[in-house]
Amino acid sequence: MQMNENKEFEPLIVAFCCNWCSYAGADLSGTNRLNYPTNVKIIRVPCSCRVNPMFILRAFQRGADGVILCGCHPGDCHYTSGNYFTRRRMTLLFSMLDFLGIERDRTRVEWVSAAEGAKFAATMNEFTEAVKKLGPNRRLEDLRCRKQ
């Protein structure tokens, strides 16, 4: 989380992108000169299935205001079935975060293929706006990690 000169809230977004589809999709959106916000910090993972629930909680702990997980479309996983497992896990995890009263719009799963540079940019723009509206993450932050 950071404040710019106009004191407008700038969220920190962590995007976990799978190596085979979404990371290449992000690359494509760059080579196509499409804009997406600098708030988004991409972390490359071998497969969306590599992301365990702790990664997501740790991101929130260390100051993320929103976490988005991008992977190959169901059926297109480089490892055949990884993203099917991701889908179940993340559905349950997000449901649990919601159950604990943590704003559910801070988390999202989106399928982005290597050919969808435009979708990647659009998704990131939209997600950043949504998190900006929510304001800083207070319910799942670690005060010891706050940078001020």
Residues that bind other proteins in the complex, under the rule CB under 8 A: 53-54, 57, 60-61, 74-75, 81, 84-85, 87-105, 107-109, 139-144
Nearer to other proteins, 39 or 86 (CB): 86
Nearer to other proteins, 33 or 88 (CB): 88
Nearer to other proteins, 41 or 98 (CB): 98
CB of 119 to other proteins, least distance (A): 15
Nearer to other proteins, 19 or 61 (CB): 61
8 Å CB contact between 25 and 119: yes
CB of 96 to other proteins, least distance (A): 6
CB of 61 to other proteins, least distance (A): 5
CB of 77 to other proteins, least distance (A): 11
